[in-house]
Structure 1
Amino acid sequence: MQHAVSNQTKGASFQIWRGVLAGASASLVGIGLARFAYTPLLPAIIGAHWFPASTAAYLGAANLGGYLVGALTAGALVRHARAANVLRAMMLLATIAFVACAYPVSFAWFFAWRLASGISGGALMVLAAPTILAHVAPSRRGFAGGAIFTGVGLGIAASGTIVPLLLRQGLHETWLGLAAVSLVLTIVAWNGWPPHEAPLSHTSDHPHTKPAPTPALRALFAEYGLNAVGLVPHMIFLVDYVARGLGRGVDAGAYYWVLYGLGAIAGPLLSGHLADRAGFGRALRVALLLQLAAVVLPVLSSNAALLMISSVVVGAFTPGIVPLVLGRANELLAHHPAAQKRAWRTATTSFAVMQAASAYGLSFLFSKSGGDYRLLFAIGAAALGVAFIVDVIALRASTSTR
């Protein structure tokens, strides 16, 4: 009997880690490649005259607009189909979008497929981690969530290493190469999703109960949205700033993007581990301060060492902030498990709205300011400063209430 129980336990554990692998593959495809591979491609797209600089940045923002659509529609999708099937379909959509982008038929064509890749990324972000973490013990959710979102960092690092190599063959071949990587990862994840939804705890609310968001939860949504604004300058303009703004070339820009990716690989695991030890609230405040310091560095100096530090730290928290906010939302709704997925959808939507708005807004400011990169980083740093103030005010308010 003990042997049988042991085997069942091992089987359950194996299933969970297969799920974590599937989740990491989904975040790698939907976010790591579908979004971030465009950043090191941007100078090459402009240089190859596929699109002029004034419109190429807007194509990068198209993915962020699609991300918002995906985040908003993910809930409706899983009401009509199993989460596993939706996740598979979104990974396939991202793969098809890579193939389509190998053919710059027109601005509208390219924009539509960049939008589609963003839709897949938004849906994958909303659905993948909660689908897996519902099967993970609460004491290990920080680390497991970090492992899932490490896929984002792996995608960023891959885009900074694979893209320059593929570009030697041409832009067309680069997009097809990314499609091949995406297809392989889709196959890896295909059977890794849980076959059934995790049952709700006996202490949970009725599934249709919708507790009103507390001030702390509303503050968290605002902080996550402001955090998105703080990340956008690095996400879209870092490589272009180094390559064209500082005149150091595409290879130097790709080097900083690799550093960004290396930070992104370690960031989710480190932030998840910190959250498991110190709590998600404290870890989130530390993350906001570190990001603020890192984003303001390019405003103060173009020194190579400082830019390297900025790239690594912002890279670490680009995916590293995600498990912290997801875990903090679950903490605030610890007695309302049925509401946790709704809260995560709302948080992701807040992030997506602010990310898309700031991407379009910063692209507009960039063109109107004659290419003032430091203005973009200053705006990002200001947004992170406001996010930290909101968090401190919310903490004091909740403390005084208790």
Structure 2
Amino acid sequence: MTTHTRPRTAPPNPWLVLAGLSLGVLVTNGLARFAYSLILPAMRNDLGWSYAQAGWLNTANAMGYILGALGTMMALRWISPNRLFSVGLITTVLAITATGVLPDLWWQSLWRFLTGGAGALSFATAGTLAARLFADDPKRSALGIGILFGSGGGTAIMLIGATLPPMLGAWGDAAWPWAWVITGGIGALCLPLGLWSARATRTPRAPIPTSGPLPWRRMLPELAGYAGFGLGYIVYLTFLSAWMAEQDASTLQVALVWVLLGLCITLSPLIWRGVFARHSGGRPLAMVLTAIALGSALPVLWPGLGGLLVSALVFGGSVFMAPPAITTFTRRNLPAESWGRAISLFTVVFAVAQTIGPYAAGILGDYAGSIGASLLAASALLLIGAGIALRQRSL
């Protein structure tokens, strides 16, 4: 009797899968969150917003992020991470596009909230999916995780930095709705490969993890350091263009700084991969936060285009390396069945801290009469976080 066996399908190229997951990060962490900074000056001028109102919208985004991160932690017990990644990616693209439809603050708050919630689903699961690709190779895993967060977000910032400032400069402040529609269209182009990568990482559904509770008390320095990251980094990426508008920077200068920022973010994994591969405690996160703090303060301490360019180099070379730092820490210190829950816990802590940052920074900017005071305050918070993270020891 002849038996027929189904030929085995060759596993997909892990680097191609990683590219698709990076496109998910490009949408959920790049376009969804940071396009707002470039569109904000036009929205403020056209709609007459204060800095506090402008900051509130990113706070609404962060509140959605909290809900999405908490939902991810709970949903991972019943729903696979690749499915959560896909749902979050599709919903984020729709919410970005809808942001250009209605100008009222209430509607804008709703779209930013939904963008944050859906983005958290994809962002919190992307690291878990990427960690599976090179599970037996620490060096390639560290590089892959760095590429996931760095290339996706950096490419997004280069795209919007090269596109949105010239468009708004030519069409005027009233064209800000079209900026959101264009941003959503870029996100839609990323869907096919991103969704394919999520399917390619699908594994048989595992039972509810039985590894016990996370050792969160022993992880407190790393958690607190990541909270400092959430408090501080978002101020720069929310108000950088507003600070440049205060300094009468030209459209070309704004585009140049943002493209350089995105390029440095894209290349940053090559700078930090050795650090992540060598250390399993809190030193990598502490080093990253120190560099972000310096980059945040430079535009104020060194006014002018030179300071902005150096700031973009330093900030861009470090800002998206905080998520790889905690992902690598999780991978090296916890069993594989705990990775999803641990990364989701870090995401919740980060999201709560991120909620406070933009609105508080906007109030401080209104009070001081300049958003530069908020950039310096953010730098101080990042340095405090770095000091705490340095106390984290390997588990």
**1:272–1:323 contact (8 Å) kept in structure 2:** no
Counterpart position of 1:377 = 375
Q: Distance in 1 between matches of 2:152 and 2:372?
A: 29
Q: Which amino acid is the alignment partner of residue 227 of structure 1?
A: F
Following superposition, the deviation at residue 106 of structure 1 comes to 1.7
**CA-to-partner distance for each residue in 1:79-115, whole Å, 9 max, x for gaps?**
4443333222211211111221122242111110111
Q: Which amino acid is the alignment partner of residue 236 of structure 1?
A: T
Following superposition, the deviation at residue 253 of structure 1 comes to 2.8
Counterpart position of 1:233 = 235
Counterpart position of 1:360 = 359
CA 1:80–1:278: 2 relative to 1, 3 Å: closer
Q: TM-score, structure 1 length as denominator?
A: 0.86
Following superposition, the deviation at residue 183 of structure 1 comes to 0.9
Q: Which amino acid is the alignment partner of residue 239 of structure 1?
A: S
Counterpart position of 1:3 = none
Q: Which amino acid is the alignment partner of residue 212 of structure 2?
A: K
State the secondary structure of the residue aligned to 2:219: helix
**CA-to-partner distance for each residue in 1:107-149, whole Å, 9 max, x for gaps?**
1111101111111221111111202312323422111111211
Q: Distance in 2 between matches of 1:260 and 1:320?
A: 14
Deviates more, 1:66-75 or 1:20-29: 66-75
Q: Distance in 2 between matches of 1:227 and 1:330?
A: 20
Q: 2:210 aligns with which of 208, 211, 217?
A: 208
Q: Which amino acid is the alignment partner of residue 285 of structure 2?
A: L
CA RMSD of superposed structures (Å) = 2.6
Following superposition, the deviation at residue 174 of structure 1 comes to 1.9
Q: Distance in 2 between matches of 1:294 and 1:42?
A: 21
CA 1:366–1:77: 2 relative to 1, 3 Å: same
Q: Distance in 2 between matches of 1:206 and 1:82?
A: 11
Counterpart position of 1:323 = 324
Counterpart position of 2:178 = 173
1:189 and 2:187 are equivalent in the alignment:
no
How many residue pairs are counted as aligned between the two chains?
Answer: 381
1:272 and 2:273 are equivalent in the alignment:
yes
Structure 2: tracts of 5 or more residues without a match: 1-6
Following superposition, the deviation at residue 218 of structure 1 comes to 1.3
CA 1:53–1:320: 2 relative to 1, 3 Å: same
Q: Distance in 2 between matches of 1:171 and 1:303?
A: 26
Alignment of 1:1-400 (within 5 A): 11-12=10-11, 14-49=12-47, 51=49, 53-137=51-135, 138-139=137-138, 140-149=140-149, 150-167=151-168, 168-169=170-171, 170-193=175-198, 194=200, 196-197=202-203, 207-213=209-215, 215-243=217-245, 245-277=246-278, 281-333=282-334, 336-371=335-370, 373-395=371-393
Following superposition, the deviation at residue 15 of structure 1 comes to 4.0
Q: Distance in 1 between matches of 2:296 and 2:51?
A: 24
**CA-to-partner distance for each residue in 1:133-186, whole Å, 9 max, x for gaps?**
123234221111112112011111111112124434532322221111111101
Q: Which amino acid is the alignment partner of residue 339 of structure 2?
A: Q
**1:153–1:261 contact (8 Å) kept in structure 2:** yes
**2:73–2:340 contact (8 Å) kept in structure 1:** no
Q: Distance in 2 between matches of 1:16 and 1:199?
A: 20
Deviates more, 1:21-30 or 1:323-332: 323-332
**2:294–2:314 contact (8 Å) kept in structure 1:** no
Q: Distance in 2 between matches of 1:269 and 1:341?
A: 25
Q: Distance in 2 between matches of 1:227 and 1:88?
A: 26
Q: Which amino acid is the alignment partner of residue 263 of structure 1?
A: C
Structure 1: tracts of 5 or more residues without a match: 1-6
Q: Distance in 2 between matches of 1:222 and 1:326?
A: 15
State the secondary structure of the residue aligned to 1:190: helix
**2:166–2:255 contact (8 Å) kept in structure 1:** no
**1:239–1:256 contact (8 Å) kept in structure 2:** no
Q: Distance in 1 between matches of 2:50 and 2:290?
A: 36
Q: TM-score, structure 2 length as denominator?
A: 0.87
Counterpart position of 1:4 = none
State the secondary structure of the residue aligned to 1:394: coil
